[in-house]
Structure 1
Amino acid sequence: MRTNGSAGASAAPGADSSTSTERYFNRELSWLEFNRRVLAEAQNETYPLLERLRFLSISGSNLDEFMMVRVAGLAGQLRSQIVETSIDGLTAGQQLQTIYRAIEDLVREQHAILSDLAGKLDEVGIRLIGDRKLERHEAEWLGEYFERHVLPALTPQAIDPAHPFPFIANQGTGVLFSLVRIADGAEVREMILIPPALPRFVRLPGEGTACWIGIEDLVRRKGSRLFPGFRIHGHGTFRVLRDSDMEIEEDAEDLVRHFRTAIQRRRRGKVILLQLQENFDPAAEDMLREKLRLDHALVLKSPGLLSMTGLAAVVEEERPELKFEPYSPRYPERVREQDGDCFAAIRDKDIIIHHPYESFEVVIDFLRQAASDPDVVAIKQTLYRAGKQSAVIAALIAAAEAGKSVTAVVELKARFDEEQNLMWASQLERAGVQVIYGFVDWKTHAKVSMVVRREGDGYRTYCHFGTGNYHPITARIYTDLSFFTADPRFGRDAGQLFNFITGYIEPKRTEMLSLSPLGLRRTLYECIEREIAFAKAGKPASIWAKLNSLTDSQLINRLYAASEAGVNITLVIRGICCLRPGVPGLSERISVKSIIGRFLEHSRVWAFGNGAEMPNRRARVYISSADGMSRNLDRRVEVLVPIRNRTVHDQVLDQVMLANLLDTEQSWRLEPDGTYHRMDPGPKPFNLHRYFMTNPSLSGRGAALTKGRKVPKLALRRGGATTKPD
């Protein structure tokens, strides 16, 4: 299978004459290519049916966020007449034209896949009712359900000069009815807005076939109950998406108050998408267009379901045979050997934990033990996304209530988690935690915990650095790395990081960590330059990197320069990639792949050969919270963490990175023309998710490394992966 995408056109400002489409891919079109790969998993016949439906739902929620943020931003540029071109030289108007065509194609593909999946699900006893005629018992039950659980929440609103046009909130769905009053024959138009508190899908009770109906379909079917005394001449469903990005005022005196106000404004942002059911009444469509004041918005007509996001409810159907086999993560054996004492295990040797294969519970235990340990005097913690039911928050509150000094850096600018983070901040402050909101201009995206513990005559600092959020739910499905260390050099650097965030005290120098926006970019450049020097000296030179996105033109140009100098570069970029690989004279030594599978690849890793063939013990290896994007390198507080411990180094390089490079079952190859092709699994297919689910890690195994089950060793071989006992 392949996905098509010409992700670029025209020259980037300041680029040489060989640039434009030959040099960069367009960021937004590259993102759409990523969502096509996600959607393609809904067609993956090796997956259970409900998991395929889950991928369809994910593609829908991804597209919503893309519209509300990225597309809305381009439309805002156009309205404000901001002349700013993309990395590939396109104006906002040019990008919107291409994006809108691509979205129309993507939505058509979503509906074709839904139709196919609905037929397959029907065969195994899960039915999406849609427009199908109801059986008598189904109609009776839905009638009673409507009367008791839906009707009381609905408010019919007449659309005429005597009534103001109702406000339609972001992601709001409604049904427009065309009616005729029986008493006098007057034509009336009524709108029913679906309250967001109602379930997106309703499941009918009973054994056997599980039947699901969309809430808007139920409202349409019960129009006669809503409008007694009227004849229904027609009806149509519509949906609205609005601009959901938030601008931060540099002179905001009270950041919390500013965000509470901004969240309210976001709900009333400009409409960016009006989605209509096919055969929607043209006169009603004209009315919506006028009342919603569409300006550079997309109007999209779709057959049937207007949003795929709600299908997540159907995925929760209790049919384990139609889902992935449940997976229970391992707990680090070295912590168990220390009777569960995280501090003893970390003090003994650095540990890295590979989520979700290894339990996020060890991160929670680290904080819980810190909260209850009488020798712990201080805890400092960054919080970007913590989830709705956060054990991390509970541990910090317990620590503060136990009299410890607790500082929490809560990021209010974590998109779509602002309200949740404001709530956590309030709870933490009430418990006595010192809550800091960081910088107005920069997001604090670094994932860091530090615990100061009294030991002997002094203090020891224990640190946790992560590539993912302190979020117990996403830690079950995102692949991330958690690095624990008691190395005093890391402790001193972490202390400087927190002082920078809380007191704006810029570190003069750090011993281990590289921080953005201060020196992380410089560290990456220095590592790339070292590889260029090795190549020019005739030595092996190579770079491996695993990122979610690569869009920064300066970093891309450094990688192009390395390729031209003879450095072999292998990139695993899950999502957006603006770098064009495999172009003679520019990037012929660069290959790019994307991995989409059961788990969402989220960890960020850099590895530099350091004058020897990769993988090797001398290689410079780093994990990071930062992607290869300008915002991460210049406008966020991020960390780049060097991995020096031999066992941890081997796990990150010889297991995590190598498995990503060797995967053939879930990998897509990016071609020079911007298209992605599924890689041929070959005669010996390799699935990195299956490998990590069935094999133990190196780090954190303690005595298990010297006895018991061996860890299969991965090796680079032409034609695929090989494994052998370590």
Structure 2
Amino acid sequence: MHDDATSSTMPASAAVPGATVADVPTPDPGDPAFFVNRELSWVDFDERVLELAGDERQPLLERVKFAAIFASNLDEFFMIRVAGLHAKVWNEVRRRGPDGRTADEVLDLLRAQLEPLTGAHSRIVRDDLLPLLAEEGVRIARYEELSDAQRAELADRFQHRIYPVLTPLAVGLGRPFPYISNLSLNLGVLVRDPDTRQTVFARVKLPTEVVDRLERVPTDDEQVFVPLEAIVEAHLDRLFPGMEILDRGMFRVTRDADFEISDEADDVKRALEAQLRNRRFGEIVRVEIDADMSEALRTEIVEQLGVEERMVYDIDGLLDLTALWQLVKVPGHNDLLDDPWRPVTPPRLREGDDEQADVFGAMRRGDVLVHHPYDSFETSVERFVEQAVADRDVLAIKMTVYRTSADSTLLPSLVRASEQGKQTVALVELKARFDEQANIRWAQLLEDTGVHVVYGHPALKTHAKCILVVRREGERVRHYVHVGTGNYHAKTARLYTDFGLFTTDPAIGRDVAEMFNQLTGFAKPGRFDRALVAPNGLRDGLVEEIERTVAAHRAGRRTRIRLKMNSIVDRVSIQALYRASQAGVPIEINVRGICCLRAGIPGLSETIRVRSVLGRFLEHSRIYAFERDEESVVYMGSADIMERNLDNRVELVVPVHDEAAKAQLIDALDRAFCDEVGSWELRSDGGWERVRPADPEHPRGLQRELMELHARRAREADLEE
């Protein structure tokens, strides 16, 4: 795995003969040597994903799933992060990053790290997963392995379903090299006219948008698939009648898919729609080429595309292994997957029939904390909004929308609320990457039905996750609030681990109401009572909690800092944690993805321990806990510790004061740091090491334990009823 260590991280007493501890200078928290490059750290994360694909303890199709996730992760990484580095090089930006490297230097390091990693990915799939699947009756066959009857079936399918949507494009006089769209699979062919002996290059784009990448072939005792490119190759004579096929080979192009909306845009939706139309025309940042391709054909493609050699990756095996999702979804093989998990209704929301649970009543009795996917999204968050729509005393419903799904009832509920005359507001973030089109469609639907739709500021993404319900109660109104760590997305709520806090805390209610007013109106950002809101107070609030913990430690109090998040990148926050460690504060960090912090460095981060947990569910929750003797301050919310979250997004993080809810968050932290099933520990040299269980027969597993805990609570609630 990635080793970002440098000699400057070694204690001086170890590097200089005769040096003593007293001679050792205190490491500078601002030294670039102590900041791991963000892109290199991300590659470390995807390598951990790949390690799960190779883990024989995982069910076979779960391993296949992780191999597919690795591929889709890498596609997005190139489209966004690597594209950003290339843009800096092309624009001659030579400024060094927090780690002291230029974009050009990072690109060279990424190439050195990614080339063997993509090779390992292909080997795991080709030599391990596919043979094991074949033993289970799920096989990707070569065309020449098929029977005559199967070939006849595929020939008929080619003629009637595939051939009509193929468009071979030859390159020659008056025919320039065709545009290669982003992530498309292409067959490069060298064709010769037997009469004139003229040779031309032609490109055939595989129509994977309308035809399955892996075509199922008829068989009695197996589920056999043939790659679409193999079928097309077998029928090239239909595409180039009368010509000689000299050579052929597959290639795939990845383009820059990122874009920015100008701060001056007066119509965010229209500006975004224009950018989306241009997304597929971005600059090339990666070319994947079949490793079996001849050198002549490879040279032709690379030269015609006009790319640097460091952008070219030779792939030994199938290109675009996101196609593995087809195999994961093959019916009849549930025994090769994890046992299904059915989310439960939290006991606090179990009064009477689940469909009629009084969420408002439960909230008035005290805060309710739900943990998805262990707790049901449907019977908690969706039920909360449905009750608000049905309640005649509810005056207003306001909600942020970053990502949502077609099967969620939340946005249709807002439409019904608007039709009933309730004040209904949806703050839709159109710039949620790769969900822009879906959000534009939802925004238009909501607007057309009378919901007040606000798009936010062009320069900021509204990433906060909150719902505000204003209810008339006597002569006053009460705020009912949900604050989450994840999106209001019914599908991902079954796949991602996220917390949601239901509260009627007046201070939090006022803060959330104020945040909505600032976002929908025209006002300068103000101060908030309890909430930490980015971009104008979240970083300062977290750093202040770190500094309070340091002061308490120096005063002789027992202290500890524990953090759980997706990524930690922000340099200011990392330096604050380094200073806390130098003061002696124990620090535990559980980070799923990017970690730019170095742990265990003498004199700098000796008290910092970093773990990463990966599993069947994607760890997505954000918890920030600060312990000072008996005082325990715990926050949860939407933000990771990254510059983009702290400076360029609207984020909402709130304190949790309810003791039961706080205990639940702390329990989740305890279990996360004890996981032995899917955990890695960050070494002081910058590499990651898989955690080995103390008792291999009974390893502790964060997600398994939480499933068992929530299932047991549900059973106990059933018995009480």
TM-score scaled to structure 1, two decimals?
0.92
State the Cα distance separating 1:600 from its structure 2 match.
Answer: 0.7
Q: What amino acid maps onto 2:368 in structure 1?
A: I
Q: In the alignment, which of 94, 118, 139 is matched to residue 127 of structure 1? A: 139
Q: In the alignment, which of 319, 335, 347 is matched to residue 333 of structure 1? A: 347
1:217 and 2:230 are equivalent in the alignment: yes
1:427 and 2:440 are equivalent in the alignment: no
Deviates more, 1:476-485 or 1:122-131: 122-131
Contact map agreement 2:29 2:579 (CA 8 A) in 1: no
Partner SS state of residue 422, structure 1:
helix
Residue in 1 aligned with 2:51? 40
Question: Cα RMSD (Å) of the superposition?
Answer: 2.2
Q: In the alignment, which of 1, 7, 18 is matched to residue 4 of structure 2? A: 7
State the Cα distance separating 1:62 from its structure 2 match.
Answer: 0.4
Q: What amino acid maps onto 1:414 in structure 2?
A: A
Q: In the alignment, which of 158, 170, 188 is matched to residue 158 of structure 1? A: 170
State the Cα distance separating 1:218 from its structure 2 match.
Answer: 2.0
- Separation (CA, whole Å) in 2 of partners of 1:449 and 1:54: 33
- Separation (CA, whole Å) in 2 of partners of 1:591 and 1:225: 62
Residue in 2 aligned with 1:584? 602
State the Cα distance separating 1:388 from its structure 2 match.
Answer: 4.1
1:569 and 2:581 are equivalent in the alignment: no
State the Cα distance separating 1:90 from its structure 2 match.
Answer: 0.5
State the Cα distance separating 1:541 from its structure 2 match.
Answer: 1.1
Residue in 2 aligned with 1:392? 410
**Residues 461 and 11 of structure 1, relative CA distance in 2, 3 Å threshold:** farther
Deviates more, 1:336-345 or 1:685-694: 336-345
- Separation (CA, whole Å) in 1 of partners of 2:546 and 2:121: 41
Give the total of aligned pairs: 696
Contact map agreement 2:289 2:315 (CA 8 A) in 1: yes
- Separation (CA, whole Å) in 2 of partners of 1:642 and 1:17: 32
State the Cα distance separating 1:697 from its structure 2 match.
Answer: 8.4
Cα deviation code 1:446-499 (max 9, x no counterpart):
001111122222222111100001111111110000111122222111110101
Q: How do 1:169-318 and structure 2 match up within 5 A?
A: 169-195=181-207, 196-294=209-307, 298-318=311-331
Deviates more, 1:260-269 or 1:124-133: 124-133
Deviates more, 1:277-286 or 1:451-460: 277-286
Q: In the alignment, which of 79, 84, 89 is matched to residue 90 of structure 2? A: 79
Q: In the alignment, which of 651, 671, 674 is matched to residue 664 of structure 2? A: 651
Contact map agreement 1:8 1:24 (CA 8 A) in 2: no
Cα deviation code 1:434-456 (max 9, x no counterpart):
11111111111100111112222
Partner SS state of residue 53, structure 2:
helix
Partner SS state of residue 187, structure 2:
strand
Q: In the alignment, which of 156, 166, 188 is matched to residue 144 of structure 1? A: 156
Partner SS state of residue 253, structure 2:
strand
Partner SS state of residue 653, structure 2:
strand
Q: In the alignment, which of 126, 130, 154 is matched to residue 118 of structure 1? A: 130
Residue in 2 aligned with 1:471? 489
Residue in 1 aligned with 2:542? 524
1:513 and 2:531 are equivalent in the alignment: yes
Q: What amino acid maps onto 1:145 in structure 2?
A: R
Q: In the alignment, which of 358, 362, 371 is matched to residue 354 of structure 1? A: 371
Q: What amino acid maps onto 1:470 in structure 2?
A: Y
Q: What amino acid maps onto 1:537 in structure 2?
A: A
Residue in 2 aligned with 1:693? 707
**Residues 550 and 507 of structure 1, relative CA distance in 2, 3 Å threshold:** same
Partner SS state of residue 300, structure 1:
strand
Residue in 2 aligned with 1:630? 643
Partner SS state of residue 695, structure 1:
helix
Q: In the alignment, which of 403, 421, 424 is matched to residue 403 of structure 1? A: 421
State the Cα distance separating 1:17 from its structure 2 match.
Answer: 6.3
Residue in 2 aligned with 1:496? 514
Contact map agreement 1:551 1:628 (CA 8 A) in 2: yes
- Separation (CA, whole Å) in 1 of partners of 2:147 and 2:704: 44
Contact map agreement 1:334 1:703 (CA 8 A) in 2: no
Partner SS state of residue 710, structure 2:
coil
**Residues 46 and 511 of structure 1, relative CA distance in 2, 3 Å threshold:** same
**Residues 63 and 187 of structure 1, relative CA distance in 2, 3 Å threshold:** same
State the Cα distance separating 1:46 from its structure 2 match.
Answer: 1.5
Q: How do 1:539-578 and structure 2 match up within 5 A?
A: 539-578=557-596
Cα deviation code 1:200-243 (max 9, x no counterpart):
22222343211122222221222122222122221111100000
Residue in 1 aligned with 2:16? none
- Separation (CA, whole Å) in 1 of partners of 2:316 and 2:358: 57
Residue in 2 aligned with 1:61? 72
State the Cα distance separating 1:31 from its structure 2 match.
Answer: 0.4
**Residues 390 and 18 of structure 1, relative CA distance in 2, 3 Å threshold:** closer
- Separation (CA, whole Å) in 1 of partners of 2:684 and 2:583: 19
- Separation (CA, whole Å) in 2 of partners of 1:401 and 1:672: 59
- Separation (CA, whole Å) in 1 of partners of 2:663 and 2:350: 22
Deviates more, 1:408-417 or 1:282-291: 282-291
- Separation (CA, whole Å) in 1 of partners of 2:60 and 2:246: 38
Contact map agreement 1:332 1:353 (CA 8 A) in 2: yes
1:680 and 2:698 are equivalent in the alignment: no
Contact map agreement 2:344 2:714 (CA 8 A) in 1: no
State the Cα distance separating 1:7 from its structure 2 match.
Answer: 3.0
- Separation (CA, whole Å) in 1 of partners of 2:180 and 2:557: 63
Residue in 2 aligned with 1:714? none
- Separation (CA, whole Å) in 1 of partners of 2:653 and 2:309: 40
**Residues 384 and 215 of structure 1, relative CA distance in 2, 3 Å threshold:** same
Contact map agreement 1:593 1:668 (CA 8 A) in 2: yes
Contact map agreement 1:27 1:87 (CA 8 A) in 2: no
State the Cα distance separating 1:334 from its structure 2 match.
Answer: 2.1
Contact map agreement 2:417 2:424 (CA 8 A) in 1: yes
- Separation (CA, whole Å) in 2 of partners of 1:435 and 1:472: 21
- Separation (CA, whole Å) in 2 of partners of 1:539 and 1:476: 41
- Separation (CA, whole Å) in 1 of partners of 2:70 and 2:526: 44
Q: What amino acid maps onto 2:584 in structure 1?
A: G
Unaligned runs of 5+ in 2: 10-25
Cα deviation code 1:679-725 (max 9, x no counterpart):
12112521011111111289x989949x869xxxxxxxxxxxxxxxx
Cα deviation code 1:411-436 (max 9, x no counterpart):
12111111111111111111111111
Residue in 1 aligned with 2:673? 661
- Separation (CA, whole Å) in 1 of partners of 2:262 and 2:376: 40
1:671 and 2:683 are equivalent in the alignment: yes
- Separation (CA, whole Å) in 1 of partners of 2:717 and 2:409: 29
Unaligned runs of 5+ in 1: 613-617, 710-726
Q: In the alignment, which of 433, 436, 443 is matched to residue 415 of structure 1? A: 433
Q: What amino acid maps onto 1:5 in structure 2?
A: H
Residue in 2 aligned with 1:724? none
